[in-house]
Amino acid sequence: MLSRCQDPNFPKFQNWGGRGIRVCERWQTFEHFFADMGECPPGRVLDRIDNDGDYTKDNCRWATTREQHNNKRPNRPLTFNGRTQTIAEWARELGFSYFTLNTRLNRLGWSIERALTTPIDPAFRRVP
């Protein structure tokens, strides 16, 4: 966290410190970070709730890898019937492959409604 935000020589620094993401003053020492966040639960990683926001107690959580992946900048949120999820989340829920849903939206230019409601030919359905 500190290296990502403060060391210009850190690989991909441009994705954190280089785009203005900072670590709050309190978390400059591990003891304060640990007092605020506690021990990392098994199977969890540090995640910023608002990935454009800084590393602060109010903006960080221990998340599963899946939660963290759904919170990345490149994800495209899709809103349908009043619910917003990423392409990957919709694909899992509907039993589609990510590739199928992404292709429908980004390559074929289908509307969100058409992409999410058009059944897949059973010959091509992904096996769960």
Same domain, 65 and 92: no
The alpha carbon torsion through 22, 25, 27, 30 (nearest 10 deg) reads 120
Same domain, 63 and 12: yes
Domain count, the chain: 2
Position 124 scores a pLDDT of 61
In which domain, by residue range, is 60 found? Answer: 2-69
Same domain, 83 and 49: no
pTM of the model: 0.65
How confident is the model over 26-44, as pLDDT tens digits?
Answer: 999 999 999 999 999 999 9
- Residue 56 vs residues 63, 64, 77, 98: alpha-carbon distances, Å: 15, 18, 24, 32
Same domain, 16 and 37: yes
